[in-house]
Amino acid sequence: RDVTGVQTCALPIYQVELGGDLVEDGNWKLVMENNRECYHCDGHPELVCSLFQFFGYAEEDVTPRLRPAHQRYQAAAAALVQTGAAHGIPVDTVEESDTRTTAFRVARLPLDHAGESFSMDGGLLCRKLLGTVPSSRLGHLSLHMQPNSWFHFLSDHAVTFTLLPLAPDRTLLRTTWLVHADAVEGEDYDTAELTKVWRATNEQDAVLVARAHRGVADPGYEPGPYAPNEGQDRKSTRLNSSHITI
């Protein structure tokens, strides 16, 4: 039984963009931690046009400025549950982030505005939907794998991310965008638009990672606690620590 909904996207898809390599000036663990939390997501103006940033938020954590977006999130989340139930697609999170060597987390989450894709208005970026997807409004299915990869499956395309440590202070982030095998560039999708949001997000994250790396490398650095809503980072640290031998 497909308890994650990944199977819904399982039809031939092909690589459309291989130019997503970015070398970040930071340790691979910092790059992974940057991905595993959204405490910094206000620094991604393109991404938050469609991505809700309320990971780990309690009701009392929502500020007046974020209240309108949180109300849209609640409505979109309820609609996603209804759509999933109507089509027999799981929407519950499945997570074993720190209890097994091949740790993972799968979550289907709503998107803002049009609710279809990672675009500036939440609308579709490719006219041909993936697999057996019955609706364009299925949010995004996120699959996080430890220790070095994550994936986003949407109704119209998928994005894959892989980290490769190059040195203690340099990490390669490789991003690939996938569409339906029958999609025609210039007719069904535009490569620049398809890759726009995550190219910008990756570059912004690279700046944040470099700053973090300079900070932790400073002789005066003292470790502190994670933010309260950074639960995935805490689980990643527990998993990594359990496999470190000195």
**What HEC string does 92-157 produce?**
CCEEECCCCCCCEEEEEECECCCCCCCCCCCCCCECCCCCCCCCCCCCEEEEEECCCEEEEECCCC
The reported pLDDT for the residue numbered 101 is 74
The reported pLDDT for the residue numbered 236 is 67
**100: which strand partners?**
none
The reported pLDDT for the residue numbered 133 is 83
The reported pLDDT for the residue numbered 1 is 46
Tokens linked to 8:
């819904």
Nearest to 174 by CA among 16, 18, 8, 10: 18
Q: What distance in Å separates the CA atoms of residue 204 and residue 197, rounded to the nearest whole number?
A: 11
The reported pLDDT for the residue numbered 36 is 80
The reported pLDDT for the residue numbered 240 is 64
Question: What string of pLDDT tens digits covers the 246 residues of the chain?
Answer: 454 455 555 556 666 766 679 999 999 989 988 888 877 888 999 999 999 988 778 888 889 998 999 999 999 999 999 999 999 998 998 888 777 777 888 999 999 999 999 999 999 999 999 988 888 999 999 998 888 899 999 999 999 999 999 999 999 999 999 999 889 999 999 999 999 999 999 999 999 999 999 999 999 999 888 777 676 656 666 656 666 665
CB 24 within 8 A of CB 98: no
CB 112 within 8 A of CB 50: yes
Burial of 224 per CB tally in 10 Å (0-12, 13-18, 19+): exposed
The reported pLDDT for the residue numbered 145 is 87
Q: Tell me phi and psi for residue 66, to 5 degrees.
A: -90, -5
Q: What distance in Å separates the CA atoms of residue 19 and residue 24, rounded to the nearest whole number?
A: 15
- pTM higher than 0.85: yes
The reported pLDDT for the residue numbered 25 is 98
CB 180 within 8 A of CB 194: no
